[in-house]
Amino acid sequence: MLRVYPFFLEAAVVTIELSVLTALLGLTCGALGAAARMSRLTILRWIGATYVSLWRGTPALIQVFILYFGGPQIGIQLDSFAAGTIALGVNIGAYMTETIRGAIVSVDKGQTEAARTLGMSRWQTMHKVVLPQAARMMIRPLGVNINALIKGTALVAPISVVELTYTAQRFIGSTYKPFEMFLLSGLLYMVIIYVVGHGINWLDRRARII
Amino acid sequence: MTDQAFVTIKNAAKSFGALEVLKDINLQVERGQIVAIIGPSGSGKSTLLRAINELDPLTSGEVWLEGVQINKKLPYRQYEAHVNQVRQDIGMVFQHFNLFPHLTVRGNITLAPRMLKGLSEADANKLAEEQLAKVGLAEKIDEYPSRLSGGQKQRVAIARALAMTPKVMLFDEATSALDPELVEEVNLVMKQLAEEHMTMIIVTHEMDFAASVCDRVLFMDQGVVVEEGPPSVIFQNPQEDRTRNFLRKHLSR
Amino acid sequence: MGLDFTVVPSYFGVLLMGSGWTVAITVCAGLLSFFGGIIFAVTALYGHWSLRLPVRGFAFLFMGTPLLLQLFLIYFGLIQIGIDLPAFLAGVIGLGLHFAVYNSELIQASILAVDKGQYEGARTLGLSRGQTLRRIVIPQAIHAVIPPMGNNMIALLKDSALVSVIGVMELTLAAQQAISRTYRPFEFYLAAAFCYYIVNLALEAGLRSLERRIAASR
């Protein structure tokens, strides 16, 4: 049993790498998506809404498969780690779009009115008044998205990325101890989620003081 | 255009879909005049006020400030630039204060002058201190709005608007959201402004205050100006029935 | 290699069959997650301490780990203790338990949110604690929690794709069958995504009409 520990620790590192990269890509897509959905241009709003609808309305696993297995057909050759990260990142970005947009929209309308009344432009208002307030409010819900994202990295196991779930399955086969393998990888997932959760809470608390 | 007053509203009409909220309003305000607009809820008085600085643009009609048409029809970019510029000359105070919670009082007051008028940090701070002293809150300059009482918040809001040295101040039910004992401190500041001959248009429910401070009172009902005149006439000897009925309901307290 | 969508129509039947299985899995797991959620919630709140702890522990475990891992556990793990489940059953149970746990959290919150006055009114009339819970509190809690549970149903539908990994026949596996014959993954995974999207829309519409009927009955 002891011989498997190093493999699981390595796999945990891969899971962490996947999580970080996916989160960064997701936040980027989320910010772009939110900006698109709130744009003055109808075409951008439509693109944003379609992005959210399609990527939230279909299974993430299928999105991974389309990119990894189907990509070569349209000239996109990616290794499994990259394909998985990109597909999952764009997927979680659709959820983060709604989280970010929700936070921005929840800032009281009177704030915008006051800023515009003083003569500030739309962008100045967004930049100095609305976004600072929205940013504070979106930390917790984004934390929920990130929590789901960390567990979602398991979806790259079927395309053979050597992360925690893949490793668990691999060793279930050779050790015939599924419960132990489940518990080991489960524990590592929970540690990662716990640490990240604390980070989010800390960030949230700091944001409220400023 | 030369026979225009300081603030002129011509044939103002506003509809929200099928609902006509303002029907052909005409109003002329001279420099230094203080005008009160009273009336029941839904009369359109707030809508009229908010049309002056294009917060809720009119459906038809014109709004002029000192020879410049505020609600000019322009292509988007130019409209935005024009409106942002004009709004610097119009100060507005809201019923719910709308102070920026993530900035200190100092930050609230200096934000627009630094951003829009290019004031240096030192000059803006001096300006903020002056304006706060005027409203009697100099010591609160580094507090956050959440630590202030309602009356204090509104006084800061007034200082914030004044810091842009506007030509006219609009008050949209500035004391309606305040506890009764906090109303007086805000009224005092407004009285002070009146004595300094600031042009003011005040939408209010406070009849006594309107009577004591204003030069003219407009009574609005269902989107039209029913009656207008000096406070002595409107409050003591209203000519129209609707005015009489409204006042009877409101003053018999 | 390029794209050629003309191969797809001849596999409509396969995809339709797969979609049918997906719907069946979703319905079965959905029911399990609904009733399981209620049982878990009531046990976690009112059960004997010997039951409460395991349920809470189980919930903690299942909410903190990926669904795919849980499916592996159920499918491969039960074999270790001698239970050889067919993949379909393992998939439905895995999905059902996973979402039962999430539903249970929602239901617990909803039960606790029922106005205390309801309790007091019922107990004052002489109803026992159990009767009060069963007849008065829990029905109201469940009524209130149907919309958020609807969201979990939608998630369940999408997550049902994961059971293909343990070999359960459904839409994703059906697409893979077509791919193994035509070597056109892009076209068929896209077709599968399209089918999932349509079923999702139908499910959302169904949930919305259910919510409307519930709101009207108040």
What is the nearest CA distance from C124 to chain A, expressed in angstroms?
Answer: 41
- Looking up tokens 């809001």, which residue turns up? B157
Using a CB-CB cut-off of 8 Å, the residues of chain A touching C80 are 176-179
Task: Give the pLDDT score at B1.
Answer: 42
Rounded Cα–Cα distance for residues C54 and A202 (Å): 30
Query: pLDDT category, A62, cuts 50, 70, 90?
Result: very high
Task: Give the pLDDT score at C183.
Answer: 92
Tell me the average pLDDT across B133-152: 94
Both tokens of C108, joined, read 């617990």
Query: pLDDT category, B252, cuts 50, 70, 90?
Result: low
Is the predicted pLDDT of residue B181 greater than 50, yes or no?
yes
Query: Which of B80, B87, B101 is closest, CB to CB, to A118?
Result: B87
Task: Give the pLDDT score at C33.
Answer: 96
Query: pLDDT category, C218, cuts 50, 70, 90?
Result: low
CB distance from C162 to chain A under 8 Å? yes
Separation of CA C154 from chain center: 8
What is the nearest CA distance from B155 to chain A, expressed in angstroms?
Answer: 14
What is the SS3 assignment for C168? coil
Task: Give the bridge partners for B9, in sequence order.
Answer: B27, B63
Tell me the average pLDDT across C8-31: 95
Contact B120, B74 (CB under 8 A): no
Burial class (CB in 10 A: 0-12, 13-18, 19+), C62: buried
Tell me the average pLDDT across C71-91: 85
- Residue A41: phi and psi, rounded to 5, are -80, 125
Looking at the structure of chain A, the number of domains it has is 1
Separation of CA C73 from chain center: 17
What is the SS3 assignment for B71? coil
* Percent of chain C at pLDDT exceeding 70: 99
**C-alpha to C-alpha distances, C43 to A3, B90, C129, C152, C210, nearest whole angstrom:** 39, 63, 14, 21, 27
Restricting to C residues 4-23, those with a Cβ less than 8 Å away from any Cβ of A are none
- Looking up tokens 């299942």, which residue turns up? C62
Quick: pLDDT tens for B18-44: 899 999 999 999 999 999 999 998 899
ipTM of the complex: 0.91
Q: Which residues make Cβ contacts (< 8 Å) with residue B84, sequence separation at least 6?
A: A116, A119, A120, A121, B116
Task: Give the pLDDT score at B3.
Answer: 53
The enclosing domain of A190 has a CATH number of 1.10.3720.10
Task: Give the pLDDT score at A176.
Answer: 77
Nearest residue to B148 via CA among B188, B115, B103: B103
CA-angle at A168, arms to A162 and A174, nearest 5°:
105
CB distance from A208 to chain B under 8 Å? no
Count helices and strands in chain C by DSSP H and E runs:
10, 0
Task: Give the pLDDT score at C143.
Answer: 82
Tell me the average pLDDT across A149-159: 96
Closest CA in chain C for residue A172 = C76
Q: Are C184 and A73 an interchain contact pair (Cβ–Cβ within 8 Å)?
A: yes
Rounded Cα–Cα distance for residues C49 and C57 (Å): 12
Query: pLDDT category, C161, cuts 50, 70, 90?
Result: very high
**C-alpha to C-alpha distances, C157 to B87, C182, C203, nearest whole angstrom:** 52, 27, 9
Rounded Cα–Cα distance for residues B231 and B218 (Å): 9
Q: Which residues make Cβ contacts (< 8 Å) with residue A160, sequence separation at least 6?
A: A80, A166
Residue B17, phi-psi category: left (phi > 0), alpha (psi -120 to 50), beta (remainder): left
Quick: pLDDT tens for A168-201: 988 887 777 888 888 899 999 999 999 999 999 9
Rounded mean pLDDT of chain C?
90
**C-alpha to C-alpha distances, B116 to A117, A121, B101, C176, nearest whole angstrom:** 12, 9, 20, 61
Task: Give the bridge partners for B69, in sequence order.
Answer: B64
What is the nearest CA distance from B91 to chain A, expressed in angstroms?
Answer: 7
| Class level of CATH domain C7-217 | mainly alpha
Rounded Cα–Cα distance for residues B96 and B118 (Å): 28
Contact A166, A160 (CB under 8 A): yes
Is the predicted pLDDT of residue B253 greater than 70, yes or no?
no
Quick: pLDDT tens for A85-134: 999 999 999 999 999 999 999 999 999 999 999 999 999 999 999 999 99
Q: Which of C72, C179, C196 to mutate to test the interface with A (most CBs of A within 10 A)?
A: C72
Task: Give the pLDDT score at A1.
Answer: 65
- Looking up tokens 């507090």, which residue turns up? B143
What are the DSSP calls for B190-218, one per residue? HHHHHHTT-EEEEE-S-HHHHHHH-SEEE
Rounded Cα–Cα distance for residues B173 and B89 (Å): 20
Is the predicted pLDDT of residue A210 greater than 70, yes or no?
no
Q: C–B contact (≥3 CB pairs within 8 Å)?
A: no
Closest CA in chain A for residue C4 = A73
Contact C40, C104 (CB under 8 A): yes
Rounded Cα–Cα distance for residues A49 and A53 (Å): 6
Q: Are C161 and A61 an interchain contact pair (Cβ–Cβ within 8 Å)?
A: yes
Query: pLDDT category, B120, cuts 50, 70, 90?
Result: very high
Domain range for A164: 2-207
Tell me the average pLDDT across C75-88: 81
Rounded mean pLDDT of chain A?
94
What is the SS3 assignment for B246? helix
Rounded Cα–Cα distance for residues C178 and C176 (Å): 5
pTM: 0.86
Rounded mean pLDDT of chain B?
91
Nearest residue to C101 via CA among C49, C48, C43, C159: C43
Tell me the average pLDDT across C178-199: 95
| A3 DSSP 8-state letter | G
Give chain C's radius of gyration (CA, Å).
Answer: 21
Q: Which of A80-89, B14-23, B42-51, C72-81 shows the lowest per-residue confidence on average (mean pLDDT)?
A: C72-81
Q: Which residues make Cβ contacts (< 8 Å) with residue A111, sequence separation at least 6?
A: A129, A130, A133, B98, B100
Quick: pLDDT tens for B215-230: 999 999 999 999 999 9
Nearest residue to A161 via CA among A17, A56, A2: A17
Closest CA in chain A for residue B85 = A119
Query: pLDDT category, B2, cuts 50, 70, 90?
Result: very low
- b/e map C175-197, b = 16+ CB within 10 Å: bbbbbeeeebbbbbbbbbbebbb
Task: Give the pLDDT score at C217.
Answer: 67
Is the predicted pLDDT of residue C171 greater than 70, yes or no?
yes
Contact C175, C191 (CB under 8 A): yes
Q: Which of A169-183, B231-245, C35-49, C93-107 shows the lowest per-residue confidence on average (mean pLDDT)?
A: A169-183
